Amino acid sequence: MHRIHQLIMRGKLEQTKATIELISIEVERVDAEYNELWVSFEYTCPGGEYKSAMPVPIGNSMDMTNHFFRELTNEARHLSEMEGDESLTTNLVVSNKASTMLQIKNLYQRVIEALDYEGVLSESASYIDLCTSGLDFRTPSNSLSVRDFEERFRIFMSRAKDKMSHGYYTIAADDLEKAKVLCSSSSLIFKLIGICHRELGHLDLALEMFLKSLELGDNDKDTFLYIAEIYFFLGDMENASDILNKIIINYPNDSRVLVELANVLYQQEKDYLEVIEKAYQIDPEETKNAIVQTFVFKKNGNKDFKRITLDKASEMLKIPSNTIMSLATKHKIPARQDAATEGFIFDEKEIYTWALVYRRFGLLQNEIERISSNIREQDDKDLAVLP
Cβ–Cβ < 8 Å for 206, 194: yes
Strand pairing class (48-57; 307-308): unpaired
Distance CA 104, CA 84 (A): 29
CATH of 307-384, one of 1.10.530, 3.90.220, 1.10.1660, 3.90.550: 1.10.1660
Please check the confidence at residue 2 and state whether its pLDDT lies above 50: no
Residue 20: partners with Cβ closer than 8 Å, 6 or more residues away: 43, 44, 45, 72, 73, 76, 92, 93, 94, 95
Query: Which DSSP helix (H) or strand (E) runs through 193?
Result: helix 187-199
Residue type present at position 253: N
- Residue ranges matching CATH 1.10.1660 in the chain: 307-384
Helix (H, G, I), strand (E, B) or coil at 148: coil
- Give the global pTM: 0.81
pLDDT band for position 236 (50/70/90)?
very high
Strand pairing class (91-94; 17-31): parallel
pLDDT of residue 267: 95
321, burial (CB in 10 Å: exposed 0-12, middle 13-18, buried 19+): middle
pLDDT band for position 14 (50/70/90)?
very low
Residue type present at position 290: A
Query: Could you name the CATH architecture of 147-218?
Result: Alpha Horseshoe (1.25)
**β-strand partners of 45:** 48
Please check the confidence at residue 9 and state whether its pLDDT lies above 70: no
Helices 348-360/273-282 angle, 10° precision:
20
pLDDT of residue 214: 96
Average pLDDT value for residue range 297-312: 85
Find the range with the poorest average confidence among 180-184, 228-232, 358-362, 381-385.
Answer: 381-385
Please check the confidence at residue 43 and state whether its pLDDT lies above 50: yes
Angle at 259 between CA 334 and CA 287, to 5 degrees: 95
Cβ–Cβ < 8 Å for 258, 248: yes
Which own/partner contact pairs does 283-291 have at CB distance under 8 Å and 24+ positions apart?
283/255, 284/361, 286/255, 286/256, 287/255, 287/258, 287/259, 287/361, 288/361, 288/362, 288/363, 290/255, 290/256, 290/259, 290/260, 291/259, 291/357, 291/358, 291/361, 291/363
Q: What are phi and psi of 297, to 5 degrees?
A: -90, -15
Distance CA 190, CA 198 (A): 12
pLDDT of residue 5: 34
Please check the confidence at residue 8 and state whether its pLDDT lies above 50: no
Please check the confidence at residue 83 and state whether its pLDDT lies above 80: no
Average pLDDT value for residue range 321-330: 88
Cβ–Cβ < 8 Å for 287, 259: yes
pLDDT of residue 381: 45
Does 213 or 309 have the greater pLDDT score? 213
Please check the confidence at residue 183 and state whether its pLDDT lies above 60: yes
Find the range with the poorest average confidence among 7-11, 27-31, 264-268.
Answer: 7-11
Give, in order, the Cα–Cα distances in Å from 231 to each of 57, 252, 254, 271: 38, 21, 20, 20
Residue 55: partners with Cβ closer than 8 Å, 6 or more residues away: 31, 34, 36, 37, 38
Q: Shortest CA distance to 221 belongs to which of 250, 192, 184?
A: 250
Please check the confidence at residue 74 and state whether its pLDDT lies above 90: yes
**β-strand partners of 55:** 38
pLDDT single digits (tens) 15-36: 456 899 999 999 998 888 889 9
Residues 251, 200, 202, 57, CA torsion sign = negative
pLDDT single digits (tens) 86-137: 545 468 899 999 999 999 999 999 999 988 877 777 788 888 999 999 999 9
Cβ–Cβ < 8 Å for 84, 74: no
- Residue ranges matching CATH 1.25.40.10 in the chain: 147-218
Distance CA 157, CA 188 (A): 10
